[in-house]
């Protein structure tokens, strides 16, 4: 499991007794937080920073440990911040600064100068915060008493975002084929993606998958079919079309393992050697946390895998989706979001059916796909676009709803949602912000998670929700 290192701060002027108390209090805090965050992250305490040399040694440990996704700091006492400069300059993992105390209440009857010197985070954390600001280091602050629920929730959110950033740095997108011809928003600066987020965008031909699919044995296909029929309802007589998809998933799984890939893209315009466009193969892989972007959309492929990681361990569904069509009934406007095939199985509210239907584009055989109605509940829709000189994340609050009526002739899975604060402002804001038609929808994540990711990665963020007004639209327009 991933871990965070906890580096407390003090100085060597206070004497051994004080430093021993600092270490003991920090050990108690570490044990408490480990109990509360069990299953999410593990926290390990490092030696208290009393000198610049100790800080450097601690940060070396942070930087050299592949399991470590971030660092927590807290100034139990005053800790002159010049001691932190060289250590902090080495750090390139997410940083959480705790602004807390070992004690909840002031001991009014007994407080003396010794107590004040030992418990002066109000003083020491400000000295430390200045150097973080002065060095321009992106970080989060969680303030309050460390045993309070809202404080623990803040640390947990940081842990989940730090784990997602950890995955981001290990993200490798296999692009099978290039971006769909002439499409703008799915393209952008791949080099900048790698520099800012760590995403390696690597090209391979789809023939690699076609070849591996041809090589899949009957036994492997039987095993994959057993997985499908256990999870899904077979609603087609065209079993061979489903077995073909099983071969694609087997091929993709082998390719992913061999090349240490975490996400992939394909493109219906480049299916050389393939009989079908991957449908159920992509849908089933997405439900296992593999990032996917259709039409060569490497950004949404990588971003979806990062956000699925962020949502790990939470209730709700997270995955790729595409904006498709609207119900514009006044006051009851709804969006129907879907894709030509590849809606992640994690969005299913009903047991998915395996169906085979004609696909009008691509010129290939009828592909097998999962068809289902979507999950409901409060959620977010979030995308990432390349503005030329920077990346922009757009995050809209939405409410996923049950589809009002059956759609018996729609051969694809779908979700439906209501925009906030209403259709007119919510969708116009998305348009003004340059939001893509590919996005990630999540009922597990919130705007606060995305905002933390944006801050820690230095990405512009535009949010849309109940606090968005007509006046805000003018701001977008004036950009
Ligand atoms: Mn698309």
**Residue 78 CA, ligand 1 centroid: distance in Å:** 54
Span from the CA of 282 to the centroid of ligand 1 (angstroms): 13
pLDDT digits (tens, 9 = 90+) for 152-173: 999 999 999 999 999 999 999 9
Tell whether 325 and 200 lie within a shared domain.
yes
| Span 16-20, average pLDDT | 94
| Average pLDDT along the chain | 97
Residue pointed to by tokens 């087609």: 236
* 233 in the same domain as 153: no
Q: What percent of the chain stands above pLDDT 90?
A: 97
pLDDT in tens, 22-68: 999 999 999 999 999 999 999 999 999 999 999 999 999 999 999 99
Whether residue 234 is found in the same domain as residue 267: yes
Domain termination site, one of 105, 136, 168:
168
Same domain (yes/no): 152, 181? no
Q: Residue 476: its pLDDT value, please?
A: 76
Residue 478 has pLDDT above 70, yes or no: no
**What is the percent of the chain where pLDDT is above 70?**
99
CA 100 to ligand 1 centroid distance, Å: 47
Give CA–CA dist 363/17, Å, rounded. 77
Q: Is this structure's pTM higher than 0.95? A: yes
Cα 479 to the center of its chain, rounded Å: 27
Report how far ligand 1's centroid is from the alpha carbon of 295 (Å): 6
Rg (CA), the chain: 25
pLDDT digits (tens, 9 = 90+) for 413-456: 999 999 999 999 999 999 999 999 999 999 999 999 999 999 99
E strands, 240-359, are 263-265, 291-293, 318-327, 334-338, 353-356
182 token code pair: 């002439």
**Does 121 lie in the same domain as 45?**
yes
Name the residue range of residue 106's domain.
3-168
Q: Which of 149, 188, 176 is nearest to 266 (CA)?
A: 176
The answer on pLDDT for 181 being more than 70 is yes
Sheet bearing 291-293, strands edge to edge: 200-204, 172-176, 263-265, 291-293
For ligand 1, the distance from its centroid to the CA atom of residue 340, given in whole angstroms, is: 7
Residue with tokens 């084929």: 177
Kindly give the distance from the C-alpha atom of residue 322 to the centroid of ligand 1, in angstroms, as a whole number: 6
**pLDDT reading at 353 higher than 60:** yes
- End position of a domain, from candidates 168, 199, 218: 168
CATH number, position 64: 3.40.50.10940
Buried/exposed code over 346-361 (b: 16+ C-beta within 10 A; e: otherwise) = bbbbeebbbbbbebee
Structure tokens belonging to residue 444? 């597990």
Ligand 1 centre and the CA of 278: distance in Å?
Answer: 14
Do 295 and 201 lie in one domain? The reply is yes
* CA–CA separation, 255 and 139 (whole Å): 36
Kindly tell me if the per-residue pLDDT of 475 is higher than 90.
no
User: Residue 35 CB: number of other CB atoms within 10 A?
Assistant: 9
pLDDT for 111 equals 97
Residue 392 CA to ligand 1 centre (angstroms): 19
| CATH code (residue 305) | 3.20.14
Residue 265 is predicted with a pLDDT of 98
Q: How far is the CA of 416 from the centre of ligand 1 (A)?
A: 17
Q: Does residue 31 sit in the same domain as residue 163?
A: yes
Last residue of a domain, one of 168, 198, 229: 168
Do residues 261 and 357 both lie within one domain? yes
Q: Are residues 216 and 348 in the same domain?
A: yes
Task: Report residue 474's pLDDT band, with 50, 70 and 90 as the boundaries.
Answer: confident
Do 155 and 45 sit in the same domain of this protein? yes
Q: Are residues 205 and 109 in the same domain?
A: no
* 115 Cα–ligand 1 center, Å: 62
State the total domains in the chain. Answer: 2
Task: Answer yes or no: is pLDDT of 410 > 60.
Answer: yes
Cβ atoms within 10 A of the Cβ of 138, count? Answer: 12
Verify that 164 and 250 share a domain, yes or no: no
């Amino acid at each position: 499991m991933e871990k965070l290192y906890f580096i407390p701060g003090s100085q060597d002027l206070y004497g051994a007794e004080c430093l021993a108390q600092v270490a003991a209090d920090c050990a108690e805090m570490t044990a408490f937080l480990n109990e509360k965050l069990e299953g999410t992250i593990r926290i390990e305490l490092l030696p208290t920073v009393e000198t610049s040399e100790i800080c450097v040694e601690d940060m070396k440990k942070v930087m050299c440990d592949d399991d470590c996704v971030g660092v927590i700091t807290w100034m139990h006492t005053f800790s002159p911040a010049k001691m932190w400069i060289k250590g902090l300059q080495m750090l390139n993992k997410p940083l959480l600064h705790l602004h807390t105390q070992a004690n909840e209440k002031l001991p009014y009857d007994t407080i003396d100068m010794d107590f004040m010197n030992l418990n002066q985070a109000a003083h020491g954390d400000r000295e430390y915060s200045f150097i973080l600001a002065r060095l321009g280091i992106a970080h989060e602050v969680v303030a309050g008493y460390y045993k309070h629920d809202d404080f623990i929730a803040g640390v947990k959110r940081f842990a989940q975002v730090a784990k997602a950033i950890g995955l981001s740095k290990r993200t490798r997108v296999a692009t099978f084929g290039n971006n769909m011809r002439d499409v703008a928003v799915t393209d952008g600066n791949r080099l900048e993606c790698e520099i800012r987020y760590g995403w390696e965008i690597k090209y391979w031909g789809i023939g690699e998958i076609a070849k591996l699919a041809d090589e899949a044995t009957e036994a492997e296909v039987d095993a994959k079919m057993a997985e499908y029929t256990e999870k899904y309802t077979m609603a087609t007589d065209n079993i061979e079309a489903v077995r073909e998809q099983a071969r694609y998933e087997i091929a993709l799984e082998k390719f992913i393992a061999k090349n240490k890939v975490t996400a992939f893209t394909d493109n219906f315009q480049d299916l050389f050697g393939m009989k079908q466009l991957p449908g159920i193969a992509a849908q089933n892989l997405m439900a296992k946390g593999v990032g996917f972007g259709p039409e060569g959309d490497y950004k949404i492929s990588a971003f979806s895998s990062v956000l699925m990681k962020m949502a790990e361990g939470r209730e709700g569904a997270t995955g790729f989706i595409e904006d498709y069509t609207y119900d514009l009934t006044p006051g009851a406007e709804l969006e129907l979001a879907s894709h030509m095939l590849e809606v992640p199985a994690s969005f299913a509210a009903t047991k998915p059916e395996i169906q085979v239907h004609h696909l009008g584009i691509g010129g290939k055989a009828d592909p097998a796909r999962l068809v289902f109605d979507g999950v409901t509940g409060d959620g977010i829709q979030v995308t990432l676009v390349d503005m030329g000189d920077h990346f922009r994340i757009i995050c809209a609050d939405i409410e996923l709803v049950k589809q009002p009526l059956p759609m018996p002739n729609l051969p694809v899975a779908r979700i439906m949602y209501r925009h906030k604060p209403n259709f007119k402002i919510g969708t116009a804001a998305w348009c003004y912000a340059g939001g893509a038609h590919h996005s990630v929808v999540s009922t597990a994540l919130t705007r606060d998670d995305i905002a933390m990711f944006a801050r820690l990665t230095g990405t512009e963020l535009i949010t849309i929700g109940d606090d968005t007004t007509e006046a805000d639209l003018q701001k977008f327009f004036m950009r």
